[in-house]
């Protein structure tokens, strides 16, 4: 049984810039019933952490940032079944992950396969389940179709591009620099477009004069209109992020003008809050890693105490692939 102890965390006391992120030590009580206590070995950095910090996604303060981590179970609360001390687990969607240790609901824990390191698990779990949501749950990729992926060299992009490829898609990636274009090509993009170009015109030029059946848009404000213009009639505008700010409102008539377009704004939580769905998504992700379709690509590592620096890099479009915070 664990005794009361402490944890190092990154906490905000009010919303704002990275300077609000404070490295603090807090008390940690033993796990309650239904909880496990984790020693966290790798924390996943996600753009959603920026939205939480700025208050774009509202929440109370003070708050420990972060929603994803991998670690080792140190103690198990009453009534927890199927998990034991020493198990390696990963989770996402649980606020408070920027921490060296924490208590968390056992029902959110997923065992990490032996072949996957803690760091790789923290690099792919949220981002990989997002790709599962996008390409299996919302709309299945049709083999041979051409699709557009924004931020193709980023964290989600590093998984979406190869996994969509493995499902038979031909991927056009949109990125901001030639260096990122090179990396997006290494991930499996058939063609890349620089974000400063006329994206819709280039998409159609590359695709034989036609629009594409689906655009995966995580950029939001600055990309939405180009995404809509890139679509073929009855195409899918899957707008799933706000890296450049929230997209402006889109009138239903705009979807009609574009050719009976379909628009959705998904959030991963709605696809994984049932335990059976979480397990189904995790099984698909681990399977894709086993087959080699998906690989973790950790390109940046920061000490947990330097999380503010990691946020500056992510917001400044300086990161590629996935980023890990090391407690
Ligand atoms: P990324 O590593 O992809 O980083 C964001 C990327 O967005 C940047 O690297 C940059 O790529 C691009 N970008 C374009 N415009 C801007 C801008 N003005 N400021 C900053 N970045 C910009 O982050 P993640 O992999 O963590 O997340 C990717 C996206 O997916 C995010 O929008 C996130 O919110 C979304 N997401 C949504 C989920 C959901 O459930 N709906 C779940 C998980 C992620 P470039 O320089 O090449 O343009």
Task: Rounding to the nearest 10 degrees, give the CA dihedral for residues 11, 15, 21, 22.
Answer: -50
187 lines ligand 1 (CB under 6 A): no
Which residue CA neighbors atom 36 of ligand 1 most closely? 241
Q: 126-268: what fold?
A: Rossmann fold (3.40.50)
219 lines ligand 1 (CB under 6 A): yes
218 Cα nearest atom in ligand 1: 32
Which residue CA neighbors atom 32 of ligand 1 most closely? 241
How many Cβ atoms are within 10 Å of 302's Cβ, its own excluded?
18
Q: 5-117+296-326: what fold?
A: Quinone Oxidoreductase; Chain A, domain 1 (3.90.180)
321 Cα nearest atom in ligand 1: 2
195 lines ligand 1 (CB under 6 A): yes
Instruction: Name the residue ranges covered by the structural domains of the chain.
Output: 5-117+296-326, 126-268
Radius of gyration of the chain (CA): 20
Is the distance from CB of 98 to CB of 66 less than 8 angstroms?
A: yes
Is the distance from CB of 193 to CB of 199 less than 8 angstroms?
A: yes
pLDDT tens over the chain, length 327 residues? 445 599 999 999 999 999 999 999 999 999 999 999 999 999 999 999 999 999 999 999 999 999 999 999 999 999 999 999 999 999 999 999 999 999 999 999 999 999 999 999 999 999 999 999 999 999 999 999 999 999 999 999 999 999 999 999 999 999 999 999 999 999 999 999 999 999 999 999 999 999 999 999 999 999 999 999 999 999 999 999 999 999 999 999 999 999 999 999 999 999 999 999 999 999 999 999 999 999 999 999 999 999 999 999 999 999 999 999 999
pTM higher than 0.75, yes or no?
yes
User: Ligand 1 pocket check: which of 134, 154, 269, 273 to mutate, most ligand atoms within 8 Å of Cβ?
Assistant: 154
């Amino acid at each position: 049984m664990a005794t009361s102890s402490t944890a190092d965390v990154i906490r905000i006391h009010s919303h704002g810039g990275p300077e609000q992120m404070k490295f603090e030590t807090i008390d940690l009580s033993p796990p309650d019933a239904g909880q496990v206590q984790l020693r966290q070995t790798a924390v996943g950095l996600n753009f959603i952490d920026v939205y939480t910090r700025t208050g774009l996604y509202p929440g109370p303060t003070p708050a420990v940032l972060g929603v994803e981590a991998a670690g080792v179970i140190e103690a198990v609360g009453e009534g927890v079944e199927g998990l034991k001390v020493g198990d390696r687990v990963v989770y996402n969607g649980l606020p408070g992950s920027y921490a060296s240790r924490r208590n968390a609901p056992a029902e959110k824990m997923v065992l990490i396969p032996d072949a996957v390191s803690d760091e790789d698990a923290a690099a792919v779990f949220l981002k990989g389940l997002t790709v599962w949501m996008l390409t299996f749950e919302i709309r299945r990729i049709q083999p041979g179709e051409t699709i557009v992926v924004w931020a193709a060299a980023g964290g989600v992009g590093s998984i979406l591009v190869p996994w969509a490829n493995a499902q038979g898609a031909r991927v056009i990636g949109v990125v901001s620099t030639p260096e990122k274009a090179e990396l997006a090509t290494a991930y499996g993009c058939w063609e890349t477009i620089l974000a400063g170009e006329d994206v819709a015109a280039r998409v159609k030029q590359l695709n034989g004069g036609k629009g594409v059946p689906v655009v995966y848009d995580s950029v939001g404000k600055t990309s939405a209109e180009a995404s809509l213009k890139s679509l073929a009639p009855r195409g899918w505008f899957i707008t799933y992020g706000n890296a450049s700010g929230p997209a402006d409102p889109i009138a239903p008539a705009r979807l009609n003008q574009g050719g009976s377009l379909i628009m959705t704004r998904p959030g991963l939580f709605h696809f994984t809050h049932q335990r059976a769905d979480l397990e189904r998504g995790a099984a698909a992700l681990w399977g894709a890693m086993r087959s080699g379709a998906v690989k973790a690509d950790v390109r940046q590592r920061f000490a947990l105490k330097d999380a503010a620096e990691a946020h500056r890099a992510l917001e400044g479009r300086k990161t590629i692939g996935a980023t890990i915070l090391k407690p």
